[in-house]
Structure 1
Amino acid sequence: MKGKDLLMLKSEIIQTDLVINCADFPDINTTSRWVSSLCMKLNKPHIIGGGYTGHIGLIGPTIIPFQGACWNCFERKYKNDLKDHHFDILLNTRKSSGAVVFLSSIIANIQAWDGVRVITGIGSPLMLNRKGFLDLDTLKIDWEIVSKDPNCEVCQTNSYDKNN
């Protein structure tokens, strides 16, 4: 992300109570890294949305800075899981498969409800420390729990180095 764009994004995030990232260019992981980095520095709760492939969609996670796992913890777990299974990581291939249109609506509604819970405090966020993979073929959600990584350089302390 260019410096000017990063400053513009930062000025928008400063004004908000909650950020929901569903930008998918160049890809959801990259935009989530950008957004999460700023949100952690600014102590802003944020929800990662998106990640659709065909009939499977990603629900969550919701990240409350320093109260649970951060986006970096999720990425570290993902990369460690890949090592255990000997998968290759494909980055920035700029190829995509389509998604079933109403899948994004279902996911958006679930994440909007978690956003309402975060903003109003009417309950604990449902996606804190976890994400789900909704399979439209079976209507099954496979949940992945991610604990705060004690070695995470982003959230291992109760504050984030704002100069980072």
Structure 2
Amino acid sequence: MNPDAIPCKTELARELLRQRNALPRSQRLFLIMIDGRQPLRHFAQAAAQLGIGASALNNLVSDGLLQWGANQPAPGQKAAAPLPAEPEPPTASPQRAPAPMPSLAAAKMYAMDLAALMLPGQDGAIRQASRAVIGPGELRIWLGETARLIAEQAGPQRAALFLEKVGAMLPDDARLS
């Protein structure tokens, strides 16, 4: 495996993640971590804890859930020589369907899944505390406490990543800043 390859979620993976129960828990938690910016080596420890080895990684790729970043060789392959750039003909930009509005419940569930991944085996208190989250104010407090625990156990970079990823899922009335 090339530890410098950058894994990226596909649209199919994003759709299945939104469906909550469409993937096995280990695959779901692994895919949640993938951000399209970090190399494979960044996820090695978490992947091992989840039982995601080379064959499971290859299955994610062959199932269309994971792809390798642009200009990145797949694990075990040499980087291809770059092709000369050709100017692309101007095209009309396609109309995209509006993104669904994020919900407080979806953000909370996403945060719990991510926290469970970042604090393996230590997420019981976080799950218990999440039961008190019924509005945006409680969610902000709970996210702050969860980030503090992640910083203590996994480091401040992981806590910042947690807040960044969850922040992108929050509805406007629950934004962290």
User: TM-score higher than 0.5 here?
Assistant: no
Larger RCO (CA under 8 A, 6+ residues apart): 1
Larger helix proportion of the pair: 2
TM-score (normalised: structure 1): 0.29
Greater Rg, structure 1 or structure 2?
A: 2
Larger strand proportion of the pair: 1
